[in-house]
Amino acid sequence: QNKIRLVLSSPYRANSPMNVHLMLHGDGVRDVAFWVDDATAAWEYTTQNGAVSHQKPTEYSDENGKVVLSSIHTYGDTLHTFVERKDYDGVFLPGFMPYKTAVKTSDVGLNFIDHFVGNQPEGEMQKVASWYENVLGFHRFWSVDDKDISTEHTALRSIVVSSENERIKMPINRPAQGMKKSQIQEFVEYYTGPGVQHIALDTKDIVRTVSMLRENGVEFLETPATYYDMLQDRVGKIDENIAKLAEYGILVDADQHGYLLQIFTKPVQDRPTLFFEVIQRKGCSGFGKGNFKALFEAIEREQDRRGNL
**Chain segment 276-294, per-residue pLDDT in tens:** 999 999 999 887 666 667 7
Q: For the chain, which ranges sit under pLDDT 50?
A: 146, 148
Answer yes or no: do 52 and 85 share one domain.
yes
pLDDT at 281: 96
Is the residue at 103 inside a domain? no
Sign, CA torsion 276/295/144/284: positive
Answer yes or no: do 127 and 85 share one domain.
no
Answer yes or no: do 285 and 170 share one domain.
yes
Answer yes or no: do 94 and 213 share one domain.
no
pLDDT at 308: 78
Using CA atoms, how far residue 213 sits from 82, 96, 277, in Å, is: 31, 27, 12
Is the residue at 239 inside a domain? yes
pLDDT at 244: 96
Strand partners, 276: 199
Answer yes or no: do 49 and 152 share one domain.
no
pLDDT at 13: 92
Q: Are 148 and 181 in contact (CB under 8 A)?
A: no
pLDDT at 224: 85
Residue pLDDT, tens place only, 73-115: 999 999 999 999 999 999 999 999 988 888 888 899 999 999 9
Is the residue at 164 inside a domain? yes
Q: Which of 43, 73, 98 is the last residue of a domain?
A: 98
Q: Which helix (H) or strand (E) covers residue 41, if one does?
A: helix 39-48
CB-side exposure of 293: number of CA atoms within 13 Å? 13
Answer yes or no: do 126 and 66 share one domain.
no
Answer yes or no: do 300 and 268 share one domain.
yes
Is the residue at 285 inside a domain? yes
pLDDT at 165: 93
Q: Which CATH number belongs to the domain containing residue 92 in this structure?
A: 3.10.180.10
**C-alpha span between 24 and 193 (Å, rounded):** 9
Burial tier of 147 (Cβ tally within 10 Å: 0-12, 13-18, 19+): exposed
Answer yes or no: do 127 and 92 share one domain.
no
**C-alpha span between 25 and 11 (Å, rounded):** 14
Beta-carbon contacts of residue 41 (< 8 Å; ≥ 6 apart)? none
pLDDT at 86: 96
Q: Which of 65, 98, 131 is the last residue of a domain?
A: 98
**C-alpha span between 223 and 126 (Å, rounded):** 31
Q: Which of 98, 123, 142 is the last residue of a domain?
A: 98
User: What does R_g of the chain's alpha carbons equal in angstroms?
Assistant: 20
| CA 18 to mean position of chain CA atoms | 20
Angle between helices 183-191 and 289-305 (to 10 degrees): 60
pLDDT at 300: 79
Answer yes or no: do 152 and 228 share one domain.
yes
Answer yes or no: do 159 and 283 share one domain.
yes
User: How many domains would you assign to the chain?
Assistant: 2
Is the residue at 249 inside a domain? yes
Is the residue at 104 inside a domain? no
Is the residue at 105 inside a domain? no
Sheet containing 169-176: which strands, arranged edge to edge? 139-144, 155-162, 169-176, 110-119, 195-203, 275-282, 258-264, 251-255
Answer yes or no: do 74 and 134 share one domain.
no
Answer yes or no: do 235 and 301 share one domain.
yes
Domain extent at residue 255: 110-305
Is the residue at 66 inside a domain? yes
Using CA atoms, how far residue 226 sits from 138, 208, 222, 249, 279, in Å, is: 38, 23, 12, 11, 21
